[in-house]
Amino acid sequence: MTSIEDSPVTYEQLADIEREFEDVETEILRQQYEMTRPLYEKRQALISQIPNFWPLVMEASPPEIDEHIQPLDSAVLLSSLVSISVRRFAIDDGGKGDPRCVAIRFEFTENEYFEDKVLEKKFWYRYSDDYTGLVSEPVEIRWKEGKDLTDGLLAAVKKVWDEGDGPQPKKTGGKGKKEKAPLTASQQALKEKAESMGLGGISFFAWFGFIGARITEEESKANLAKEREQIKLRLEGKEVPKDDEEEEDDEDDDFFDDDLEIFPEGDDLAQSIVLDLWPDALKYYMQAQEQEQLASDMEIESDEDENEGEGEGDERPPKKQKA
């Protein structure tokens, strides 16, 4: 068995090819969105006339989404969800931004849990030296008294976000040697709140507090420009200069932790909604309809069996009719 070290090919060359594929796929996504947007608008006009369309879609949602929906979440979604929609806001109205930036919008009727009629969460596609993917900002939900399904977790992460970017590394002397800045009172409160809730049972609505990697738009543009410049130099056969940071010990790679992230799988859930639930909503609606019909048929058969049994003896009292 041979490895890449035994060939003239480098890992950087493979990464460059992957980048070219990614650029093409991104452009295809841009064109696909422009071509299908009128169809989604037409679909939305039709399904808006179907009672409980989106609650039924959520009820039949795939495991990647369903596993995050707790019983009380389900009660809210089934009783008051009106609509779900996805838009690629960076290219709406002729924009030239990244089509992977998405906004997921939920619309609700009046309910007993929160005041908001619309909850929309935006995700930006960002680049850094060690991360490429979706990042977001926490969205506030105006909970009614005693009805916070996240038990204060969403409010805690929103407070930390509003106060700043979180703890930053600081030099303590010597190349590459850093230590974490101490947590603020709000950050410590958030960490303790998250730890007290454990890993299971977190509300679906805590997803609105997902942040991900803290990468600003300016940092993302700079990182992407640097990467493209490195690719250009390699294609020209020139040496790519190394940054001082790249020469630091690998122990710094895991410097930041996820203690302040309340919904670690938030980007995966967003992708499941955007790439699965949203485009295949009609499929999930039909599945929900089939499940309801099957349940109804089983109930009818059960009632018929009970009625037949009632005629076998006079000692059994007549069965009460359902309301």
Residue pLDDT, tens place only, 41-72: 999 999 999 999 999 999 999 999 999 999 99
User: Mean pLDDT, the chain, as a whole number?
Assistant: 83
The ranges assigned to domains in the chain are 4-283
Confidence of residue 115 (pLDDT cuts 50, 70, 90): very high
As a whole number, mean pLDDT of residues 3-21 equals 81
As a whole number, mean pLDDT of residues 273-291 equals 95
Q: Is the pLDDT of residue 192 over 60?
A: yes
Q: Render pLDDT for 118-161 as a digit per residue (tens, 0 to 9).
A: 999 999 999 988 889 999 999 999 999 999 999 999 999 999 99
Whole-prediction pTM = 0.82
- Residue 214 confidence (pLDDT): 87
Q: Which two tokens stand for residue 190?
A: 């958030």
CA distance 240 to 10: 13
- Residue 252 confidence (pLDDT): 43
- Residue 56 confidence (pLDDT): 96
Confidence of residue 259 (pLDDT cuts 50, 70, 90): low
- Mapped to the 3 state alphabet, what secondary structure does 87-151 carry? ECCCCHHHCCCCCCCEEEEEEECCCCCECCCEEEEEEEEEECCCCEEEEECCCCCCECCCCCCCC
Q: Is the pLDDT of residue 169 over 80?
A: no
Query: C-alpha angle with apex 137: 92 to 121, nearest 5 degrees?
Result: 50
- Residue 309 confidence (pLDDT): 58
- Lowest model confidence (mean pLDDT) among 16-30, 171-185, 239-253, 309-323: 309-323
Confidence of residue 200 (pLDDT cuts 50, 70, 90): low
User: Can you give the C-alpha Rg of the chain in angstroms?
Assistant: 26
Q: Is the pLDDT of residue 302 over 80?
A: no
Tell me the fold of 4-283: Arylsulfatase, C-terminal domain (3.30.1120)
